[in-house]
Amino acid sequence: MPDSASTPHMAASASVRTGSTDRTDDRPVYVVGGGPGGLAVAASLRERGVRAVVLEKSGSAGSSWHRHYDRLHLHTTRRRSALPGLAMPRRFGRWVSRADMVRYLEKYAEHHELEVVTGVEVSRVDRAADGTGWQLTASGGRVLTGRAVVVATGYNHTPHVPDWPGRDTFTGELLHASEYRNPTPYAGRDVLVVGIGNTGAEIAVDLVEGGASRVRIAVRTVPHIVRRSTAGWPAQATGILVRRLPARLVDRAGRVLAKLAVPDLSAQGLPRPTTGLYSRVREGAIPVQDVGLIDAVKAGRVEPVAAVESLDGDAVVLADGTRLTPDTVIAATGYRRSLEGLVGHLSVLDERGRPVVHGARTPKEAPGLYFTGFTNPISGMLRELALDARKIARKVASTG
Per-residue pLDDT reduced to its tens digit, 9-48: 344 333 333 332 334 457 899 999 999 999 999 999 999 9
Do 187 and 312 sit in the same domain of this protein?
Answer: yes
| Domain limit, last residue, from 331, 355, 386 | 331
Residue 250 counted as domain residue: yes
| Domain limit, last residue, from 314, 331, 348 | 331
Asked if residue 13 lies in contact with residue 155, where contact means CB atoms within 8 angstroms, the answer is no
Asked if residue 324 lies in contact with residue 316, where contact means CB atoms within 8 angstroms, the answer is yes
pLDDT per residue as tens digits for the range 328-356: 999 999 999 999 999 999 999 999 999 99
Asked if residue 323 lies in contact with residue 167, where contact means CB atoms within 8 angstroms, the answer is no
Do 260 and 382 sit in the same domain of this protein?
Answer: no
C-alpha separations of 12 from 25, 114, 120 in Å: 14, 6, 16
C-alpha separations of 372 from 35, 145, 224, 348, 355 in Å: 11, 20, 26, 13, 9
Do 210 and 347 sit in the same domain of this protein?
Answer: no
Average of per-residue pLDDT values in the chain: 91
SS3 130: coil
Q: Which amino acid would we find at residue 176?
A: H
Domain that holds residue 321: 160-331
Asked if residue 64 lies in contact with residue 57, where contact means CB atoms within 8 angstroms, the answer is no
CATH number (domain holding residue 103): 3.50.50.60
Do 149 and 187 sit in the same domain of this protein?
Answer: no
CA–CA separation, 216 vs 213, rounded Å?
10
**Confidence bin at 243 (pLDDT 50/70/90):** confident
CA–CA separation, 299 vs 348, rounded Å?
48
Mean pLDDT of 195-208: 97
Do 327 and 190 sit in the same domain of this protein?
Answer: yes
Asked if residue 6 lies in contact with residue 115, where contact means CB atoms within 8 angstroms, the answer is yes
**pLDDT surpasses 80 at 85:** yes
Q: What is the pLDDT, as a whole number, of residue 157?
A: 84
